[in-house]
Amino acid sequence: AQKVTQAQTEISVVEKEDVTLDCVYETRDTTYYLFWYKQPPSGELVFLIRRNSFDEQNEISGRYSWNFQKSTSSFNFTITASQVVDSAVYFCALKSHGNTGKLIFGQGTTLQVKP
Amino acid sequence: EAGVVQSPRYKIIEKKQPVAFWCNPISGHNTLYWYLQNLGQGPELLIRYENEEAVDDSQLPKDRFSAERLKGVDSTLKIQPAELGDSAVYLCASSLEGRGPYNEQFFGPGTRLTVL
């Protein structure tokens, strides 16, 4: 069975602090894809990043960085120097290669960045 | 380029009433998804269309939910009759499948349904 676990329900930080959102996944597939989405108060899920199971290189995009470790089945997301605009719910998701396109989401982590 | 459009954004109805949600995907996207998002949870797939065909509706409660995607573009999701437990956000997403092993799904803003 496939499963995504985001153990942190809510995180509150002060602006300019760094924050890491954890994501642990379960799958028996050898090829799969991992995603992070941001859901601001407006409700629309915004795609942030996709990672293939065969590519364990970490990625940095501006203040965002992602740490993918197959050995621990984790795909963590770090925001450096957080800003108030980063306040949102963040979802980690898993998709198997060749399946119906179905995304398996975690329950989400609510991030509140205080000024 | 316009994103995924959904309407209405909010809907309040009494239980046992019917309700319908509409979705217009990104132009050219052949695959359309309906997801259900309960409060404090991640979205869960209800149904997936490839063009006009529903290829995965295993999670759709067919006794009261129905969906259609006429002409392979717009889609409508219907609930009849609605129950209190149907209160949630209904998200529509679309993607262009078939040109690679994976493709991002782009989401609409959702319809927030409240059943009283």
Residue of A100, A104, A107 to mutate when probing chain B, most B C-beta within 10 A = A100
Per-residue pLDDT of chain A (115 residues; tens, 9 = 90+): 889 999 999 999 999 999 999 999 999 988 899 999 999 988 889 999 888 888 888 888 899 999 999 999 999 999 999 999 999 999 999 998 765 668 899 999 999 999 9
B48, with CB counted inside 10 A (0-12, 13-18, 19+), is buried
B57 and chain A: CB distance < 8 Å anywhere?
no
Q: How many CB pairs under 8 A join A and B?
A: 62
Tens-place pLDDT, residues B37-57: 999 999 999 999 999 999 888
Q: To the nearest whole angstrom, how far is the Cα of B39 from the nearest Cα of chain A?
A: 10
User: DSSP class of residue B28?
Assistant: T
Which DSSP symbol is given to B105?
Answer: P
pLDDT tens, residue by residue, B61-87: 999 999 999 888 999 999 999 999 999
Residues 6+ apart with CB under 8 A from A94: A2, A3, A4, A25, A27, A32, A33, A34, A35, A103, A104
Enter the tokens of residue A78: 């770090």
Residues of A with CB under 8 A from a CB of B: 4, 9, 31, 33, 35, 37, 42-47, 50, 52, 91, 93, 95, 97-98, 100-103, 105-108
Residues in chain B within 8 Å Cβ distance of A108 = 40-42
Distance CA B96, CA A104 (A): 19
Who's near A69: CB < 8 A, 6+ residues apart? A56, A75
How far is A115 from A113, CA to CA, in rounded Å?
Answer: 7
Q: Measured between CA atoms, how close is A49 to chain B, in angstroms?
A: 9
> A112 with A14: CB under 8 angstroms?
no
Give B3's contacts in chain A (Cβ within 8 Å). 44
Overall average pLDDT of the B83-109 stretch: 87
Q: Which residue has the higher pLDDT, A57 or B101?
A: A57
Q: Which site among B107, B112, B113 would you substitute to test the A interface, given the most A Cβ atoms closer than 10 Å to its Cβ?
A: B107
